[in-house]
Amino acid sequence: NAGVTQTPKFQVLKTGQSMTLQCAQDMNHEYMSWYRQDPGMGLRLIHYSVGAGITDQGEVPNGYNVSRSTTEDFPLRLLSAAPSQTSVYFCASTVDFSTDTQYFGPGTRLTVL
Amino acid sequence: AQSVTQLDSQVPVFEEAPVELRCNYSSSVSVYLFWYVQYPNQGLQLLLKYLSGSTLVESINGFEAEFNKSQTSFHLRKPSVHISDTAEYFCAVSPYNFNKFYFGSGTKLNVKP
């Protein structure tokens, strides 16, 4: 049981490049979410999903796309990276978004030059 | 709208001393309350949560938090800290019946020998 896995662990991009951050969970959780963590700002919700085929925006969705084709996977896409997207990205999954424990992946540290 | 305020960005404390990490929130609806902990270079882990019932909740490693509805607070306390408690602590709220989750900016607890 691997829990929540994220790849890559580190990534450096140039402005304008695109990339996909991968997230997978093996706990059969319906709810999955993406957060970004910036110094002094805590974690902010980017996008979330309540099940396969269903996604919605969080607090800071601009510049990011998501899709949920399977229960296990929830990739985050940056279509045209900007320096403001330099951050640490965490994926999480849970049985119930409001009341249950969220299980976090180890994070992806992204730098956009 | 919801917001979470952690007034102390850093709290230095000596080993075996008591500690309190403060958390206040504002919300137009009732909320569930959480504390998460992040050890260096790791993802977040749930420490404790308040959903209903007794306003005092405890974790397995000696932390406790008390929900105070009139003061809209959920402060985290430990009577005697250990070096291993050095980490960043995040308070979070989830509004009833909304698929949203809001984190505070975090408090770094630094336990000194």
* DSSP secondary structure, A72-99, as one string: SB--EEESS--GGG-EEEEEEEES-TTT
Cβ atoms within 10 A of the Cβ of A68, count?
Answer: 20
B83, pLDDT greater than 90: yes
Which chain B residues have a beta carbon less than 8 Å from that of A106? 42-43
Choose from A32, A54, A96, A102 for mutation: most chain B CBs within 10 A: A102
Cβ atoms within 10 A of the Cβ of B92, count?
Answer: 24
Cβ distance A76 to A7 under 8 Å? no
A98, pLDDT greater than 90: no
How far is the first Cα of chain A from the last one, in angstroms, to the nearest whole number? 36
Task: Please judge whether B104 and A102 are an interchain contact, meaning their C-beta atoms are less than 8 angstroms apart.
Answer: no
A2, pLDDT greater than 90: no
B97, pLDDT greater than 90: no
SS3 B64: strand
A104, pLDDT greater than 80: yes
pLDDT at B34: 95
B64, pLDDT greater than 90: yes
Q: Please classify residue A10 by burial: count the beta carbons closer than 10 Å to its beta carbon, then call 0-12 exposed, 13-18 middle and 19+ buried.
A: exposed
Q: Which domains does chain B have, with CATH numbers?
A: 2-112 (2.60.40.10)
Tell whether A39 lies on the interface with B, counting CB pairs under 8 A: no
Q: Which residue of B has its CA nearest to A96?
A: B99
CA distances from B52 to B49, B67, B72 (A): 9, 10, 15
Token digits of residue B113: 């020998």
Q: How far apart are CA B78 and CA A35, in angstroms?
A: 28
Among the partner residues A44, A102, A106, nearest to B42 by beta-carbon distance: A106
Q: How far apart are CA B74 and CA B90, in angstroms?
A: 11
Task: Please judge whether A104 and B103 are an interchain contact, meaning their C-beta atoms are less than 8 angstroms apart.
Answer: no
Please report which helix (H) or strand (E) contains residue A44, including its range. Answer: strand A42-51
pLDDT at A42: 87
Which chain B residues have a beta carbon less than 8 Å from that of A90? 43-44
> How much is the average pLDDT of B64-92?
95
Tell whether A90 lies on the interface with B, counting CB pairs under 8 A: yes
Task: Please judge whether A41 and B105 are an interchain contact, meaning their C-beta atoms are less than 8 angstroms apart.
Answer: yes
Q: Which residue of B has its CA nearest to A5?
A: B43
Cβ distance B30 to B20 under 8 Å? no
pLDDT in tens, A8-66: 999 999 999 999 999 999 999 999 999 999 988 889 999 999 999 999 999 899 999 99
**Least Cα separation, residue A113 to chain B (angstroms):** 22
Cβ atoms within 10 A of the Cβ of B72, count?
Answer: 16
Q: How far apart are CA B27 and CA B40, in angstroms?
A: 31
Cβ distance B104 to B90 under 8 Å? yes
Among the partner residues B9, B99, B103, nearest to A48 by beta-carbon distance: B99
Q: How far apart are CA A89 and CA A71, in angstroms?
A: 20
pLDDT in tens, B28-55: 888 899 999 999 888 899 999 999 888 9
Token digits of residue A81: 């990276």
Would you mind telling me the total number of residues written for chain A in this entry? 113
